[in-house]
Amino acid sequence: MSKVYRQFLPWLRLLTRRRRALMLGALLAGITFLSGVALLGLSGWFITASALTGIALALGLSVSLDVYVPGGGIRFFALSRTVSRYVERVYNHNSVLALLAELRFHVFGQLTRLDDLTLGRQRASDWLTRLTTDIDTLDNFYLRVLIPPLVALLGSAVIVAFIAIWLPGVALFLTVVLSLLWLVTTLGLAAWGWRQSYRHVANQEVLRHLVVDQVQGSAELTSYRSHHWHRRIVDSHEHKALHNQRLVGSRLALGNALVAAVTSLVALAVLWVAGEIFVQGLVAGPIVVMAVLMALGVNEAFSVLPNAFVRLGASFAAAERLNKLAQADAASMAAPAGSTLSDRGVSFEQVSLRYPDALDLALDDVTFHLPAGKRAVITGMSGAGKSTLASLLMGRLAATRGAVHVLGKVPTELSMTYRAEHMAMLTQQVDLFDDSLAENLRIADPSATDERLWQVLGDVALADWVQQLPKALDTPVGEKGQQLSGGQARRVALARLMLRDPDVVILDEPFASVDEVTARYVATSLDRWLAGRTVIYFVHQIDQPDLLPRIDYHWHLDAGKLSAMPIDGS
Amino acid sequence: MERAITEPMASTSEQNGLTPRRWLQSLASLERKRLRGAAFLGSLAGFQTVFIVTGLAWLIDQLVVHDRAPRDLSLVFILLAVAVVVRALCQWASERLSLDASLRIRRYARSQLLDKVTALGPVWLTTQQSGAIAAQAVEHIDALDGYFARFHPQMRITVWVPLVILAVVVSLDYLAAIFLLLAAPLIPLFMALVGMGAERMNRDQFAAVARLSAHFIDRVRGITTLQLFGHTVAAQEAVWQAADHYRRLSMRTLKLAFLSSAVLEFFSSVAIAVVAMYVGFGLLGYIEYGPAPSLTLFSGLAVLLLAPEFFQPLRTLSMHYHDRAAALGAAESIVNTLNQPPVMRTASPPATQDPEALVELEGVEVSYAARGVVLGSLDLILRHGDVVAVSGESGSGKSTLLALLAGFVGASQGECRHAATNQVAWLDQQPCLLQGSLADNLRLADPEATHEAMQSALTRAGLNEVLNALPQGLDTLLGERGVGLSGGQAQRLALARVYLSSAPLVLLDEPTARLDSATEKAVVEALLDWAREGRTLVVATHHPAVIAAASRHLRVVNGQLQEVLA
B152, B98 contact by CB (below 8 A) = yes
Q: Position A100: which residue type?
A: L
Contact B83, A268 (CB under 8 A): no
pLDDT in tens, A155-189: 999 999 999 999 999 999 999 999 999 999 999 99
Residue A350, chain B, CB below 8 Å: the answer is: no
Using 50, 70 and 90 to split pLDDT, how confident is the model at A379? Answer: confident
Residue B16 has pLDDT above 60, yes or no: no
Average pLDDT of chain B to the nearest whole number: 85
**Model pLDDT for residues B301-348, shown as the tens digit of each residue:** 999 999 989 988 888 887 787 788 888 888 988 999 999 888 777 667
In this structure, chain B runs to a length of 566
Which has the closest alpha carbon to B161: B184, B189, B194? B184
The whole-number average pLDDT for the span B177-204 is 69
Spatial neighbors of B341 by CB under 8 A, at least 6 apart, are B9, B12, B15, B16, B369
Pairwise pLDDT comparison (A441 vs B79), residue with the higher score: B79
Backbone region of residue B53 per phi and psi (left: phi > 0; alpha: psi in -120 to 50; beta: other values)? alpha
* Distances, alpha carbon A166 to alpha carbons A163, A288, B300, in Å: 6, 9, 24
pLDDT on residue B320: 84
Q: Hey, of B73, B141, B215, B284, which one would you mutate to test binding to chain A, going by the most A CBs within 10 A of its CB?
A: B284
Q: Between residues 220 and 259 of chain A, which touch chain B (CB distance below 8 Å)?
A: 220-227, 229-231, 233-235, 238, 242, 245-246, 249-250, 252-254, 256-258
Q: Is residue B542 pLDDT above 60, yes or no?
A: yes
Query: Which among B29-33, B339-343, B517-521, B523-527 has the top mean pLDDT?
Result: B29-33
Average pLDDT, integer, range A336-363: 78
Q: Cα(A439)–Cα(B225) distance, rounded to whole angstroms?
A: 14
CATH 3.40.50.300 location in chain A: 346-564
pLDDT for the residue numbered A330: 60
Per-residue pLDDT tens over the stretch B375-405: 878 889 998 889 999 988 777 788 889 989 9
- A90/chain B closest Cα distance in angstroms: 6
**Rounded Cα gap, residues A381 and B516, in angstroms:** 7
Nearest to A50 among B87, B243, B280 (CB): B280
Write down the mean pLDDT value for chain A.
86
Q: Would you state the torsion angle of the CA atoms of residues B85, A269, A287, B289, taken in this order, to the nearest 10 degrees?
A: 40
Most confident of A130-144, B92-106, B445-459: B92-106
B262-315: pLDDT as tens digits: 877 887 888 888 888 999 999 888 888 888 888 899 999 999 999 989 988 888
- Is the pLDDT at A478 greater than 90? The verdict is no
**Assigned CATH topology for domain B13-338:** ABC transporter transmembrane region fold (1.20.1560)
* A250 within 8 A of A193, measured Cβ to Cβ: no
Does B13 have pLDDT greater than 50? no
Q: Per-residue DSSP letters for A251-297?
A: HHHHHHHHHHHHHHHHHHHHHHHHHHHHHTTSS-HHHHHHHHHHHHH
Cα-Cα-Cα-Cα dihedral sign, residues B129, B135, B140, B141: positive
**Phi (first) and psi of residue A84, to 5 degrees:** -70, -35
Categorize the per-residue pLDDT at A482 as very low, low, confident or very high, splitting at 50, 70 and 90.
low
The answer to whether the beta carbons of residues A355 and A560 sit under 8 Å apart is no
Taking one residue from A and the other from B, the number of pairs with CB-CB distance under 8 angstroms is: 430
Direct distance between the N- and C-terminal alpha carbons of chain A, in angstroms, rounded to an integer: 71
At A415-447, the pLDDT tens digits run 888 888 888 888 877 788 888 888 888 888 888
Average confidence (pLDDT) over A207-215:
88
Architecture per CATH, domain A98-333, reads as Up-down Bundle (1.20)
Q: How far apart are CA B515 and CA A558, in angstroms?
A: 9
Ranges of CATH 1.20.1560.10 domains, chain B: 13-338
Average pLDDT over residues A260-273: 95
pLDDT (mean) for A90-118:
84
Residues of A in contact with B470 (CB under 8 A): 359
Instruction: For the domain covering A346-564, report its CATH number.
Output: 3.40.50.300
Interface probe, candidates B80, B227, B409, chain A, greatest A C-beta count within 10 A: B227
Residue B174: CB atoms within 10 A of its CB come to: 12
- Ramachandran region of residue A385, left (φ > 0), alpha (ψ -120 to 50) or beta? left
Q: Which of A48-52, A104-108, A427-431 has the highest average model confidence (pLDDT)?
A: A48-52
Q: B348-370 pLDDT, tens per residue?
A: 778 888 888 888 898 898 887 76
Q: Please state, in angstroms and as integers, the Cα–Cα distance from residue A203 to each residue in A200, A239, B138, B179, B459, following that order.
A: 5, 11, 10, 52, 35
Q: Are B476 and B435 in contact (CB under 8 A)?
A: no
Q: Label residue B414 left, alpha or beta by phi (over 0 means left) and psi (-120 to 50 means alpha).
A: left
Residue A562 reports pLDDT greater than 70? yes
Of B85, B131, B247, the CB nearest to A97: B247
Phi, psi for B32 (deg, rounded to 5):
-55, -45
Most confident residue range from A509-518, B149-158, B424-433: B149-158
A239 pLDDT exceeds 60? yes
Q: What region does A479 belong to: left with phi over 0, alpha with psi -120 to 50, or beta?
A: beta
CB contact under 8 Å between A112 and B426, yes or no, is no
Report d(CA B404, CA B344) in Å as an integer: 9
Secondary structure of residue B287 in the 3-state scheme:
coil
pLDDT of residue B9: 39
pLDDT of residue A380: 84
Determine the pLDDT at residue A445: 86
pLDDT reported for residue A237: 94
Confidence of residue B538 (pLDDT cuts 50, 70, 90): very high
A336 DSSP 8-state letter: -
pLDDT band at B56 (very low <50, low <70, confident <90, very high): very high
ipTM: 0.88
Q: What is the pLDDT of residue A184?
A: 96
CB contact under 8 A, B406 and A219: yes
Tell me the range of A103-117, A166-180, B167-181, B239-253 where mean pLDDT is highest.
Answer: A166-180
All residues of chain A having their beta carbon less than 8 Å from the beta carbon of residue B89 are 257
pLDDT for position A551: 84
Per-residue model confidence (pLDDT) at position B289 = 82
Q: What part of B 353-412 touches A (C-beta under 8 Å)?
A: 406-408
pLDDT band of residue B201 (cuts 50, 70, 90) is low
In CATH terms, B357-564 corresponds, of 3.90.180.10, 3.90.1010.10, 3.40.50.300, 3.40.50.2300, to 3.40.50.300
Rounded to an integer, what is the distance from CA A568 to the centroid of its chain? 51
Residue ranges of B 496-515 with Cβ closer than 8 A to chain A? 497, 501, 503, 507, 514-515
Q: Cβ(A478)–Cβ(A447) under 8 Å?
A: no
pLDDT of residue B130: 77
Local confidence band at A2 (pLDDT 50, 70, 90 cut-offs): confident
Reading phi first (left if > 0) and then psi (alpha if -120 to 50, else beta), residue A334 is in: beta
Among the partner residues B266, B280, B483, nearest to A46 by beta-carbon distance: B280
- Distances from the Cα of B159 to the Cα of B97, B154, B311, angstroms: 19, 9, 11
The answer to whether residues A253 and B90 touch, using CB atoms and an 8 Å cutoff, is no
Q: Reduced to 3 states, what is the DSSP secondary structure of residue B373?
A: strand
pLDDT band at B190 (very low <50, low <70, confident <90, very high): low
pLDDT of residue A116: 76
Which residue in chain B is spatially nearest to A56 when comparing CA positions? B284
Question: Which pLDDT does position A542 carry in this prediction?
Answer: 80
Tell how far CA A73 is from the center of its chain: 46
Give the model's pLDDT for residue A193: 92
Of residues B520 and A275, the one with the higher pLDDT is A275
| Segments of chain A assigned to CATH 1.20.1560.10 | 98-333
Position B543 scores a pLDDT of: 84
DSSP state string for B100-159: HHHHHHHHHHHHHHHHHHHHHHHHHHTTS-HHHHHHIIIIIHHTTHHIIIIIHHHHHHHH
Residue B38 DSSP SS3:
helix
Alpha-carbon distance B206 to nearest alpha carbon in chain A (angstroms): 13
| Paired sense of beta strands A553-558 and A561-564, if any | antiparallel
Give the residue from B425, B433, B549, B435 showing the smallest Cα distance to B491. Answer: B433
Give the model's confidence band at A570: pLDDT under 50 very low, under 70 low, under 90 confident, else very high.
very low
Return the ∠ at Cα A113 (arms to A109 and A114), rounded to 5°.
120
